[in-house]
Amino acid sequence: HLSSMLDVGKWPVFALLPPEELRLIRQACVFGSAANEALYVTVNDEVFALGTNCSGCLGLGDLQSTIEPRRIDVLCGKKIVSLSYGTGPHVVIATADGEVYAWGHNGYSQLGNGTTNHGLTPALVSTNLLSKRVTEVACGSHHTIALTTDGEVYAWGYNNSGQVGSGSTANQPTPRRVSSCLQNKIVVNIACGQLCSMAVLDNGEIYGWGYNCNGQLGLGNNGNQQTPCRIAALQGVNIVQVACGYAHTLALTDEGFVYAWGANSYGQLGTGNKSNQALPTPINTDKERIVEVAACHTSHTSAAKTQSGQVLMWGQCRGQAVASPHLAHFSSTDDVFACFATPAVTWHLLSVDGDDYLTVAQSLKKEFDSPDISDLKFLVDGKCIHVHKALLKIRCEHFRTLLNESDQDAIEIHQFSYLVYRAFLEYLYTDTINLPPEDAIGLLDLATFYRETRLKRLCQETIKRGISEENAITLLSAAVKYEARDLEEFCFKFCVNHLTAVTQTQAFADMDHDLLKNFISKASRYGAFKN
């Protein structure tokens, strides 16, 4: 199922996984002080972890780091709908059943289990939540908040600045409902900065509580708040989404405008300067309507996506301060964090759309050599290869001419082998080749014959990667035969560098007379026979 494979290629921690494993990933999260921890969910709903396992944050039951993915058995089959992490790090998830699990660092009770012992395996957070269904979780550095289906917010953990919203600054050991002025209100979206919490209501109002020394609560002052306060300055503006950076906040309106407030020493507010703002400030996005804002409590980076699919970024970008929204040539806000945030962690759970949407390239790849709707077959060495005339005409000049002149539905091929011809046709569907070097020679011959320059280059690369003392002469002869000059040069140099071994091979003994003469004179010019 090629379908909805999650592209995690921009996150270095996944570079260790083999392609067949990467193809199975449907959800992923990268976190940790150096983006060195990762969790992912496969198409079979299995959950795996890899990384340094700081504070047991991988949920594997021990403190061992692992470069190989290990399965978190207790989470397999759970269907994760929301995931967040702190800087301890601690990790919290909400499942499709509305349950909350937490593990990792617990020095401030951020796991909500009433203790301060680190949690090495995912444990159900049950106090006050057993009868509730949680849909979204958000973590600050050492506190956690959760949103339920009925619009209530629960909070627990570190509370030095009032970020738990309980009206005090005592740490909160188990989940407690955030009420005061949120009583009887319906919350639809939550986010946390390092030491503050934000909530968006169904009526478009936005509330904040906790640390406020940089103005990140948007209240026009710098005083911490121990209970939720409405951002009065946004009266009459309908907020639909909030995102929090380390100490700054971004809010998106129902008309696609963005407001920003809080810390700004890296230009993360996008105002064009580096002055903190204690009140919501409208950001200039070049009249582009915004559909998503993105920030993460571990960094000072901001990103947004426009209705037309463009991605903007600002704030701290790889150590540079970018004070105004800058067009990044990415397809998602996730890429901004992968490439420009420090640390390069995910700002939310990466997920592929559950629908099995195939890109144009994936759809074509899937139809190659499939008889279903094929309208042409090639017969090679008595075997059949099913293809589509339209695609061949679009992809190859030779076929454009050939198929326009004939309307046959089967073509016999005698001059190339089945393996080579199938590889050529598959290349027209996929842009890639997958052949051992000896077979790539036959494909090189075909590419030369059909004047397919790029294919010729791919074959040469494949051959170079597969050269050995055993096959060097065979490959050299082929390069000469098909006039692949730089490949000939490459094979020749290899033969000279491995002269003793190469001259003892069977291929050398069977070498064509003219080629041998040519080889010896060229090698002596190279000084290969000087002792």
Using a 10 angstrom Cβ sphere, with 0-12 exposed, 13-18 middle and 19 or more buried, the burial of residue 136 is: buried
Q: CA-CA distance, 20 to 9, in Å (whole number)?
A: 13
Task: Check whether 150 has a pLDDT greater than 60.
Answer: yes
Mean pLDDT calculated for residue range 153-169: 98
Task: Check whether 266 has a pLDDT greater than 90.
Answer: yes
Total count of residues recorded for the chain = 531
Could you give the percent of the chain with pLDDT greater than 70?
Answer: 97
> For residue 33, what pLDDT is reported?
95
Strand ranges for 309-366 from DSSP E: 311-317, 320-328, 350-351
Strand ranges for 373-522 from DSSP E: 376-380, 383-387, 410-413
Q: C-alpha angle with apex 319: 315 to 321, nearest 5 degrees? A: 35
Strand ranges for 19-161 from DSSP E: 25-31, 37-42, 47-51, 66-71, 80-85, 90-95, 100-104, 119-124, 134-139, 143-148, 153-157
By three-state DSSP, how is residue 420 classified? helix
Q: CA-CA distance, 147 to 142, in Å (whole number)?
A: 17
Q: CA-CA distance, 118 to 77, in Å (whole number)?
A: 24
Mean pLDDT calculated for residue range 131-139: 97
By three-state DSSP, how is residue 43 classified? coil
> For residue 71, what pLDDT is reported?
98
Mean pLDDT calculated for residue range 35-43: 95
> For residue 353, what pLDDT is reported?
62
Structure tokens at 138: 């958000």
With cut-offs at 50, 70 and 90, classify the pLDDT of residue 435. confident
Reference 277, options 313, 242, 333, 323; nearest CA is 323
> For residue 299, what pLDDT is reported?
97
> For residue 3, what pLDDT is reported?
44
Mean pLDDT calculated for residue range 403-431: 93
Q: CA-CA distance, 140 to 138, in Å (whole number)?
A: 7
Q: Where are the alpha helices (DSSP H) in 2-51?
A: 19-22
Reference 151, options 100, 180, 185, 192; nearest CA is 185
> For residue 259, what pLDDT is reported?
98
Radius of gyration of the chain (CA): 30
Summary mean pLDDT of the chain: 94
Mean pLDDT calculated for residue range 398-425: 92
Least trusted range by pLDDT, from 17-31, 120-134, 178-192, 201-215: 17-31
Q: CA-CA distance, 230 to 209, in Å (whole number)?
A: 9
The DSSP code for 35 is S
Other beta carbons within 10 Å of 338:
22
Beta bridge partners of residue 327, listed in sequence order: 312
> For residue 332, what pLDDT is reported?
93
Reference 435, options 468, 461, 396, 398; nearest CA is 461
| 78 Cβ neighbours under 8 A, 6+ residues apart | 45, 47, 93, 95, 96, 97, 99, 101
> For residue 2, what pLDDT is reported?
39
> For residue 356, what pLDDT is reported?
64
Could you give the percent of the chain with pLDDT greater than 90?
Answer: 82
- Tens-digit pLDDT profile for residues 275-312: 999 999 999 998 899 999 999 999 999 999 999 999 99
The angle that helices 513-525 and 472-481 make with each other, rounded to 10 degrees, is 100
Using left for φ > 0, alpha for ψ between -120 and 50, and beta otherwise, residue 483 falls in left
Q: Where are the alpha helices (DSSP H) in 158-233?
A: none
With cut-offs at 50, 70 and 90, classify the pLDDT of residue 493. very high
Using a 10 angstrom Cβ sphere, with 0-12 exposed, 13-18 middle and 19 or more buried, the burial of residue 432 is: exposed
> Is pTM, for the whole model, over 0.95?
no
Reference 217, options 251, 169, 185, 267; nearest CA is 251
With cut-offs at 50, 70 and 90, classify the pLDDT of residue 113. very high
> For residue 486, what pLDDT is reported?
85
Task: Give φ, ψ of 438 to 5 degrees.
Answer: -60, -40
Q: CA-CA distance, 492 to 456, in Å (whole number)?
A: 19
CA-CA-CA-CA torsion for 268, 274, 276, 279, nearest 10 degrees?
-70
Q: C-alpha angle with apex 76: 71 to 82, nearest 5 degrees? A: 105
Q: CA-CA distance, 257 to 289, in Å (whole number)?
A: 7
> For residue 527, what pLDDT is reported?
74
Task: Check whether 4 has a pLDDT greater than 70.
Answer: no
Q: Are 38 and 91 within 8 A, CB to CB?
A: no
Mean pLDDT calculated for residue range 134-142: 98
With cut-offs at 50, 70 and 90, classify the pLDDT of residue 530. low
Q: CA-CA distance, 341 to 296, in Å (whole number)?
A: 9
Beta bridge partners of residue 326, listed in sequence order: 313
Number of H helices, E strands in the chain: 13, 28
Structure tokens at 300: 């000072």
Structure tokens at 8: 């995690």
> For residue 204, what pLDDT is reported?
96
- Tens-digit pLDDT profile for residues 320-339: 999 999 999 999 999 999 99
